[in-house]
Each structure stands twice: as C-alpha cells, then as structure tokens.
Structure 1
Amino acid sequence: MAEKTVPFTKAQLESIIQKYPTPFHIYDEQAIRDNARKLLAAFSWAPGFKEYFAVKATPNPHILKILKEEGIGADCSSLAELILSQQAGIVGENIIFSSNDTPAEEYQAAKDIGAIINLDDITHIDYLEKHVGIPEIISFRYNPGSLLQGGNDIIGYPEEAKYGLTREQILSAYKIMQDKGVKRFALHTMVMSNELSGDSFIGTAVMMFDLVLEIYQKLGIRIEMIDLGGGIGVPYRPEQQAVDLDFVGQGIRKAYEEKIVANGLHPLNITMECGRMITGPYGYLVSTALHKKEIYKNYIGLDACMANLMRPALYGSYHHITVMGKEEYPLDHVYDVTGSLCENNDKFAIDRSLPKIDIGDIVVIHDAGAHGHAMGFNYNGKLRSSELLLKADGSVSMIRRAETLADYFATLDFETCELPLAAATKNK
C-alpha cells in the first residue's frame, strides 16, 4: 500500500501561502532526486543505461536542471521542449527527439542540437532527408500492433495508436537507412502508460531484444541503443503498490543475458524515458476551500479547477486528497470536490469520503507532479497557477510565476483599454 503523506506541515504550508497565494503546484526536490537515483540504481548493471526524462510531464527548466545533475537526459517531442532542455544544459545525444507529424523546422532544431532523432513513420525518411538531411544516428519507433490484452486507458490499443512503424516497416526502414550510408542505429517503442505491473516492462524488453536480434540476422545491422519507453505508473490510489524497480531491472537483466549476450550482441545500450514516475508522486496541487454547496449532493468548491489539474476530468483519474490539519479526522463526510469552470466534469473527486471541510481549509491534491501544471489551459479565461520548489533545506522558491490577466490578453490584437480590475493583473 502506498502511504499518502505530504512533505510539509500545516504551519509550514500556511507560511508558504502568505507569500504565494493558492492555488499552486509545489515539487519536493529531494524526493525527486532520491527517486531518480533509485531508477538509475536498478539499471546500474546495464551497458550505457540512460534515463531520458519525458519533458512533457513537467516542462520546467528548473526541474530539468535537477534531473541533469542526477545524470538524466531529456525525451522531447516539440521545439519548446528542445529549448527547455537546452536551457537546463541538456544537449547532444542526452536528448532523444521522439515526435509525430513533425514540421521540418523542429527536425532541424533537433539535428542542430545533436539530439537523437526518432522517426515515427517510414515516410518520414524522405521528409527528413529532403528538409534536414540524414543525421549520423537514426532511431525508429516500433508499434507491435496487437499486444496489450485490454489495451491501456491512456495509450489505448497499440494497433489503434497513431504512433510507430509496423514490424515489416521497421525492417524496410533500417534497410533504407543502411543503403543511405547510416552507420549508427537505435530502436524505440512505447506501448504502455501508467502501468503498475512490473512483468509488463520485462515483457517489453524481451520483445525488443527479439527485434534487435531479428534486425541483425536479416540485415546485418547492429542496433547500438534501445529505448524501452516509459510508462512506469504511479500508485495514485492508497491501496495500489508502486512498481518494484529492482524486480524490473533484474528481470530485464536476465532477458538481456539470454538474448543479447548469448547472441554476441553485447554491449547494447539500454535507455528509458520515464516521466510520470520520476516527478508525479512528488508534486502537489495546493488549494483553498472557497465554497460549500448542499443540494442533491454536497460540494466543496476550491480556488483551483481542472485548468490546474485536468487528469480527473480527462481520464476519470483518482487523486488522493489531504485536508491539512485534519489528517486524523474521521472520513465521515462525502463530497464532490469541484472547481469553478462552467463544465460539470470540473471535479477533482466524486463521492469522496473526507473529513468535514470548512471554508478556508487548505486542500492538498496528491500526485500532481506530472501531467498536472503541464496540461493547464485557459478555458473560461482561467489563469495557470505558479509552480514552487520545496528545497532540501525546507526553503521554497518560485520556479514559475502565476499567469496574470495581462498575459491572457497579450496575444489579442484589439484596442486596449484600462481593465476595470487592473489591480488584479499585477503580479503578487
């Protein structure tokens, strides 16, 4: 069972709120570092092991810089993410650029920075060559088709996903690149998301090792790096167990020895691109209870909304909730915990048993460190909140300010006038 705790007391949080009003996201730096080290330790046996953090999960250069200091690279899928990584000092083959439906200028930027380009379709070979040229090292994304029984809530069924090349296309693509003189090759897949079964990741490695061997036997191409993707899940619910990284690491090691070492293909660099499991459990959305509504159901209205965390609305996801100062109170009230958007799915929790919540209570939503702030939006004119970093010494710094109304109106081309609530647009 995953114990759901917070890295601050109510008094500490009240002190933080005096300087940084709610809502905000706050990340626990030391916990993120410790978690990253745990993943790297589980694969310390693997030749050239590299974790490429999925930037889309928490696209903040301060977070990326912390991870860079732990020896972690970046998995990027857009120009902005390339720039964020570069700002954090992550460059060259410490970046893998894995995108789809990609414009030429983004391929060019990835090539200029020296990133490993991972192509999503066989037709992208001609597109890349025409607009950018063929890089020194090339990777292809493999879509194995029917693989996951029951599919996945986020990615779906591989055969219905828009990503990657089929097995036949993979072989043809490598042959084309071989004929074009490419000497260095990588192989990538991503077939799971938020998966908590360790066996699934071992199975993915076995599949990829088999494909590496097939490519070598049929084409004489020796793959130098495989990216097993990410997808390691977060135990969002208290009754769930986190993935045993040591179990996964040793299971993949056994498969590596049986399939790669035994066939003379050692060393093969193994990489992953986890995002959610690195930062997800160590980020919190902090909000204040503004309203209480009692009609056919009981509602608690927060000053946060799904513009701050849309996973519950998008996927029906569970996020644990702590009411600060009431951790030991009985869970004897049932609420829908809601935001202020004009959308009825703007709910963080439905029929959730919680302690009695009073107006002004501080409500902390757990596991919001990945795909939380990153998925924010401006529907209803809502403004994205700030991001804070809780440092190892207990101090707090702001690593992204909250948006203002001035930010919201900045891209509109119209005759400006003094806003009636101009004071609300000023940074606090």
Structure 2
Amino acid sequence: MSKVPFTTKEKLEEIIKEIPTPFHIYDEKGIRETARKLYDAFSWNKGFREYFAVKATPNPYLMEILKEEGCGFDCSSYTELMLSDKVGAKQHDIMFSSNATPDEDFKLAYKLGAIINLDDFTHIDVLDKLTGIPETICCRYNPGGEFKTSEKGNVMDTPKDAKYGMTHEQIIEAYKILKEKGAKHFGMHAFLASNTLTNEYYPVLAGILFRTAVEIKEKTGVQLSFINLSGGVGVPYKPDQPANDIKVIGEGVRKAYEEILVPAGMGDVAIFTELGRYMLAPNGALVAKAIREKHIYKEYIGLDACAANLMRPAIYGAYHHITVMGKENQPCDHKYDITGGLCENCDKFAVDRMLPKIDIGDIIYIHDTGAHGFSMGYNYNGKLRSAEVLLKEDGSFKLIRRAETPKDYFATFDFSDKYSFSK
C-alpha cells in the first residue's frame, strides 16, 4: 500500500504564495467522508454518537465541520469546554472526561450541561459538594489486568498500569451511590488501548463493557443509558500497515451487543465513541520546506519545521511517512535524517529514511499529522507555532489559524512597560 498526499504540489505552491511554510493543512472532504463512514458503520444503533476528542485537533473550523456531520465533542479541560461552547455545542453535545480535575473545570462542565464522566470514585463527593450530582452521569471503568485480543501488537499499555478509571468494585459501588444521590441516567466509559490496528479491538472492549453493564444492572438496579467505547481505533502511519475497516468493527460491536445486552433486556443502550486520531490524523499533514543540507557522518536535510510543530517523532520515535512533493515517482535511493532546528538531537522527523534526492526548496509533506500534530506544539527555543490551513471541498483554501508572531510569544510577560516587542 502506498501513501498518497490528499493535495498536489501545484496546490501547495499556490497556498505557499499566501501562507509561508511550515503549516498544517486539513482536508475537508476527507474529514466529512470519515465521519460518514463511522456513522454508517454504527447505524444499527439508534442512539449512536461520535464525540470527537477535542484534544486531538482543537480548531473551531474543524469542529464545526464535525458538528455538521452529527458529532459531539469530548473535552478534557476548561478551555476545551469553552471551545466546544463557542462552536455551538449544547449540553449533552459535550462529554467531559478528565482526570485530577480542577474544581473550576467541574463547575464549567456542570454549568454547560455537559455529560460529566467521573474518572475516580472520590470524584463523586467532590462533584456533589461543588455542584451537586446531575441527573445524567457517567463513570470511567478500568478493569485492571492486561487487555489482549487474538491479534498481536495492538496494546500500548496494560489497564492495571493506567491512571484512568475506577476498579470493578469501585464502579459497582459508584452507581449505587450516584443513584441514591438522585442521578437518573447513567453511562459507562473505558479506554484500554491506543492506536490499535485490528478490527477486534472495539468488539472485544465492547464485550467487556457489555458484560459489566449487565452485572451493574443485576447488582444495583441501574440500567445504563449509554456505553462509551472511547478511542483507540488507530490509523496506519506506515505504508505497509493494514488499515482498520470501520464497517467490520461496527458489525463486531453489533454482534456483541445482540449476544450480551439484548438478552438482558438492554437493547436500547446507546453506543458512543470518542475518536480523535481516526477522525483527523489521515486528513491532516504538515507542510514544510527543505532549507538546509548537511554532509557529515550522515546526510541531513533540515526543514523550516521542527518538533515544536510535530513532536510525536521526537518523544515517541513515532513514524510519519514523508513525501517529497513532485518527486513521488522518483527512486528512493538517498538515505537521510530529516531534522528540525531545535537544540535537541531528538528533533528528527525521520532517521535513515530512504527518499528521493532532496534539493533545497523542495516541499516536504509529512503525512498523518491531523491529530496530535499542531495540538501538541510548544515554544521551546522560542519557536513559534505554525499556521493551520483548511483545504475546502471546492478546492479553495482558508487560513483557519494564523502563525504565531514574536509579539504573541512575548505577550504574557508582565513587564510590557519596560520592554516592547512590536513585531
């Protein structure tokens, strides 16, 4: 399988005339198609809803597109709640899933009418004292142990090592207490693995949650209104990796639903997801230019982008495919380290990558940065966050976030009377 950019060299050259590199670019057509495929895969469930994980790509223009496609928003912080509110998400359009949650975050989530997903048993008393328990409430479940499917290579962490969620005993007790405190509608949420490349992950997770839901009903009398499978459905960052089939995944969840929930009289439970990476990663790219070359013990190509624009390769050693625009059909007969300009040796987008010969000025397209790309940016070395561009369905483009300027960087200093940075 080859990886093909969702735009052309000619279009990027047109954009670059107005918006200098580096910038993240997003494909509206691809975003809409992904959302529609997801909803089709779960159309068997009357209450199905996707709650896009805002942390993956917190841009209101992209959120508006997803909102138009029927998505709600999963938030994990005060500012993400504010952003969801600004794009018109109302009450149960918002899911609030947080941990070590500050008081003010809980208060705002309650004020907005968001569905609050309690990460810990102790949060019941915290929320009750701050705002009272809302009529609709959710609890995050951590079954402990290890999570495995029959396929290999799809588990990032074992649940027992994760900081998230309640134990089995705690979540049973939690529903009893929440019911006593006046809650009327209940949900359950769990996240057990990251970026899985297997169609089994969601169905196996669903089986665990569905059986737990039946047990909760039997032991507490609480019948869940919704079960949130969270995220974890991954994307193939490497060309030789298989892509998930969302239709097959949805059918696997349906089978578990009909085998476990329906016989227990729970055939009206809504299924929720909160996919960030799956929804946006392949529909975004980081566009940069080759600006320097270096010939020492290895061959280096330096970009005008760096880890401050895309930190996943630097902190995880994550693979992102690279296309040299206009040279897609040339032989990959040159070995390069593709680097940024940070004062850190880990600031490399690729190590020993075979690519076509790269010349200064070439446009470098780094694939699959639509999620956890711009959002993880930072200002180390005084680097400024890049622009974001939307490639619209009609072929036009729109600047949806301008690049930072030095003035932005210095704006939070508290001595503007002494120092002035006007540029």
Q: Which of the five TM-score ranges fits, normalised by the shorter chain?
A: over 0.9
Q: Secondary structure at the match of 1:250?
A: helix
Residue in 2 aligned with 1:43? 42
Residue 156 of structure 1 deviates from its aligned partner by 2.2
1:364 aligns with 2:358: no
% same residue? 57
Query: Are 1:179 and 2:187 counterparts?
Result: no
Q: Deviations over 1:111-159 (max 9, x none)?
A: 1111100000000111111112111111100001112259989952211
The aligned residue for residue 74 of structure 1 is: 73
Task: Give, in angstroms, the shift of residue 6 of structure 1.
Answer: 1.4
Q: How does 1:16-415 map to 2 (within 5 A)?
A: 16-149=15-148, 156-414=157-415, 415=417
1:118 & 1:209 partners in 2: Cα distance? 18
**CA offsets 1:160-195 (integer angstroms, 9 cap, x no match):** 111000000000111111111211111000111111
Q: Is the 8 A contact 1:31 1:282 kept in 2?
A: yes
Are the counterparts in 2 of residues 155 and 161 from structure 1 also a CA contact under 8 Å?
no
Deviation per CA, 1:195-223, whole angstroms, max 9, x where unpaired?
11111211000000000000001111101
Give how far 1:257 is off: 0.7
Contact 2:135/2:182, CA 8 A, preserved across alignment: no
**1:418–1:154 CA distance, 2 compared to 1 (3 A):** farther
Question: Match for 1:143: what amino acid?
Answer: N
Distance change (3 Å), C-alpha of 1:5 and 1:229 = same
**Alpha carbons 2:139, 2:189 under 8 Å: kept:** yes
Equivalent residue of 1:201, what SS? Answer: helix
Per-residue Cα deviation, 1:16-38 (whole angstroms, up to 9, x for no partner):
10100000000000110001100
Q: Aligned partners of 1:145, 1:417: CA distance in 2, in Å?
A: 54
Report if aligned partners of 1:336, 1:352 keep a CA contact under 8 Å in 2.
yes
Note the C-alpha offset of 1:418.
Answer: 5.0
Secondary structure of 1:96's aligned partner: strand
Paired letter, 2:215: E
Residues 154, 198 of structure 2: 8 Å contact kept: no
Q: Is the 8 A contact 1:152 1:192 kept in 2?
A: no
Q: How many Å separate the matches in 1 of 2:156 and 2:91?
A: 29
Shift in CA distance, 225/311, structure 1 to aligned 2, threshold 3 Å? same
Give the Cα–Cα distance (whole angstroms) in 2 for the partners of residues 109 and 8 of structure 1: 40
Q: Deviations over 1:383-422 (max 9, x none)?
A: 0000000001110100000000000000012254455xx6
- Counterpart of 1:47 in 2: which secondary structure? coil
Structure 1: any 5+ residue segments left out of the alignment?
none
Contact 2:154 2:197 in 1 (8 A): no
Deviation at 1:7, TM superposition (A): 2.3
Relative to structure 1, the CA distance from residue 347 to residue 253 in structure 2 (aligned partners, 3 Å threshold; closer, same or farther) is same
Q: Paired residue for 2:14?
A: 15
Provide the secondary structure at the position in 1 that maps to 2:264: coil
Q: d(CA) in 1 for partners of 2:282 and 2:140?
A: 28
Query: Secondary structure in 1 aligned to 2:249?
Result: helix
**Total equivalences in the alignment:** 420
Partner of 1:4: 3
Say which SS state the counterpart of residue 349 (structure 1) adopts. strand
Q: Secondary structure at the match of 2:288?
A: strand
SS state at 2:73 partner? strand
Distance change >3 Å, CA 13–CA 67, structure 1 → 2: same
Letter in 1 for 2:173: S
TM-score, with length taken from structure 2: 0.97
- Distance between the aligned counterparts of 1:9 and 1:303, measured in 2? 20
Q: Which amino acid aligns with 2:250?
A: G
